Amino acid sequence: MTRKLLSDYGMLFVLLLLCVLFSVLTLKEQTPEGSTAAARLVEQIDKEFKKSDIILTVGAVNKDSALLAEKLGEELEKKGFGNTKVVIGVPRDLRLKLDDISKKGDRLAAIVTSGDVTKWGVIEQIPEKYPELSGCKMLAPKSYIWPDFLKRSNLLAIVDRIVVIALIAIGMTMVIITAGIDLSVGSLIALSAVIGTLLMKKMGGLHAPGWVVLVGFLAGILSCGLVGALGGLVVARFKVAPFITTLGIMMMARGLAFMITGGFSIYQVPKALPWLGQGYSLGIPNTVVLLVVLYVLAHIFMAHTRMGRYIYAVGGNEEAARLSGVPVKFVIVFVYIISSLAAGLGGCIQASQLNTGTPNIGMMYELYVIAAVVVGGTSLSGGSGRILGTLIGAFIISVIQNGMNLLGIESYTQQVVLGAVILGAVLLDKARSSGGLIAFLQKKMNF
């Protein structure tokens, strides 16, 4: 069982390894933010101080500490600490406030800080410069060590970045398993987005009701499906190489997207448009829900239905499949339709994420999608591959990009690294399937 898992999803281990690596590299002291940290501090203050005490909460402008300071101020006010003062700004603001208090001759009970504020020079110099205030207590939420990589906001960013590519990769996996390729998906993203948003604009624009968004999406997706059907027919019926067919479609679809909009973006879109790409259901982003549902469905489809088996058979040996009664042409048209529909849906998500329809979105996406599929262990020669492998492949790409961003690696270097990692991952996969890295190298170096 583990053996099979390892051979089917060896890339999963690569993904986990990358996650561990980036987690270690981005380990940092983190200051708690948000309501739990605030609540805990309020509790502490409530216990140790009188309601009349003067309490200062300090936050640096535009930082997490500002949020906490404001939050604290509100909460303490509610509790009845009438002399709470909130200072948000630069160190000078704090100094002015301290001067003010010291002039009045008030007794300062506590200063609450967090994050960087704790290390401000003003605060360290209080005993020297304001001896009269030296009795005040310093309070700060407990900081802890946690990788930036594993922060909730970052994990969501990883998903957000890959969702369109991962979704389209479902269709691409099927196409590649039939030993085909679909280069048109990047352009279809744009085509779907502009068709969809244009229709929304015509049907009322900004003030159109929610169902108009749905109609727009459907129109975009179905137009792509139609394009896919045409492409599939050209491949299946006229035996034009998939590479050429979809290259042609790629150019045509991109051109059409620009023609339809005259090269401009469409901004007059309904307010409900961002729901799909930016909204949440039950605390989970809608895109994630969609991704999970579609991957589960696609996995079941490929592993447990007749059509799934036919797709593998066509890629494994088209002639043997045909002579076994597999409707080969239908299967080929089918996978190109699915791939195009997926690209269409990807376009809708992209439009929803950007809240606009733009004809130049999705450039080069086809290559990232193909990379995700191949890194996921699907062979370009057809006949083998796993849907869930593709999901892992997509995440490997996204995690690498994200990790490098966190580490502050510049974008040119990122391209080089990403390319190298894709190659390395595929080589590693080959090594694994031929009995381990060492055996692989021995065999290959012998020549």
Stretch that binds other proteins, among 154-162, 233-241, 298-306, 358-366 (CB under 8 A): 298-306
- Name the residue among 389, 225, 222 with its Cα closest to residue 298: 389
By CB under 8 A, residue 320 contacts other proteins: yes
By CB under 8 A, residue 326 contacts other proteins: yes
Q: Distances in Å between the alpha carbon of 238 and those of 107, 127, 177, 280, 362?
A: 89, 86, 20, 45, 29
CB of 305 to other proteins, least distance (A): 6
Size of the site for other proteins (CB under 8 A): 23
Looking at 327, 380, 414, 433, which residue binds other proteins (CB under 8 A)? 327
CB of 326 to other proteins, least distance (A): 7
By CB under 8 A, residue 144 contacts other proteins: no
Looking at 147, 277, 377, 383, which residue binds other proteins (CB under 8 A)? 383
By CB under 8 A, residue 248 contacts other proteins: no
CB of 299 to other proteins, least distance (A): 12
Stretch that binds other proteins, among 9-17, 160-168, 195-203, 318-326 (CB under 8 A): 318-326
CB of 151 to other proteins, least distance (A): 40
Stretch that binds other proteins, among 66-74, 240-248, 304-312, 363-371 (CB under 8 A): 304-312
Looking at 14, 164, 321, 396, which residue binds other proteins (CB under 8 A)? 321
Count of Cβ atoms closer than 10 Å to residue 405 Cβ: 15
Cα separation, 52 vs 363, in Å, equals: 62
Beta strands 108-112 and 137-139: pairing type? parallel
**Residue number, 115 or 389, with CB nearest to other proteins:** 389
By CB under 8 A, residue 447 contacts other proteins: yes
Give phi and psi for 108, each to the nearest 5: -90, 125
**Residue number, 248 or 316, with CB nearest to other proteins:** 316
Amino acid type, 164: V
User: 2-35: buried (b, 16+ CB within 10 Å) or exposed (e) per residue?
Assistant: eeeeeeebbbbebbeebbeebeeebeeeebbbee
Enclosing H/E stretch for 84: strand 84-89
**Residue number, 238 or 447, with CB nearest to other proteins:** 447
**Residue number, 109 or 387, with CB nearest to other proteins:** 387
Count of Cβ atoms closer than 10 Å to residue 63 Cβ: 17
By CB under 8 A, residue 325 contacts other proteins: yes
By CB under 8 A, residue 91 contacts other proteins: no
Cα separation, 389 vs 423, in Å, equals: 16
Could you give the 3-state DSSP secondary structure of residue 56? strand
By CB under 8 A, residue 313 contacts other proteins: yes
* 25 token code pair: 């590299």
CB of 447 to other proteins, least distance (A): 6
By CB under 8 A, residue 312 contacts other proteins: yes
CB of 322 to other proteins, least distance (A): 6
Looking at 91, 205, 274, 316, which residue binds other proteins (CB under 8 A)? 316
Looking at 25, 96, 251, 300, which residue binds other proteins (CB under 8 A)? 300
Contacts of 396 (CB under 8 A, 6+ apart): 11, 14, 15, 18, 372, 375, 421, 425
- Name the residue among 79, 86, 90, 4 with its Cα closest to residue 46: 79
By CB under 8 A, residue 62 contacts other proteins: no
By CB under 8 A, residue 322 contacts other proteins: yes
By CB under 8 A, residue 306 contacts other proteins: yes
Cβ(40)–Cβ(7) under 8 Å? Answer: no
CB of 313 to other proteins, least distance (A): 5
Cα separation, 388 vs 377, in Å, equals: 10
By CB under 8 A, residue 299 contacts other proteins: no
Contacts of 152 (CB under 8 A, 6+ apart): none
**Residue number, 216 or 308, with CB nearest to other proteins:** 308
CA dihedral 394, 398, 399, 404 (to 10 degrees): 150
By CB under 8 A, residue 9 contacts other proteins: no
Tell me, what DSSP letter sits at residue 324? T
H helical segments located in 178-323: 185-202, 210-238, 242-261, 274-278, 286-304, 306-316, 318-323
CB of 338 to other proteins, least distance (A): 16
Stretch that binds other proteins, among 51-59, 153-161, 262-270, 301-309 (CB under 8 A): 301-309
By CB under 8 A, residue 129 contacts other proteins: no
Cα separation, 305 vs 169, in Å, equals: 20
Cβ(15)–Cβ(392) under 8 Å? Answer: yes
The binding site for other proteins (CB under 8 A) comprises 300, 304-306, 309-310, 312-313, 316-317, 319-327, 383-384, 446-447
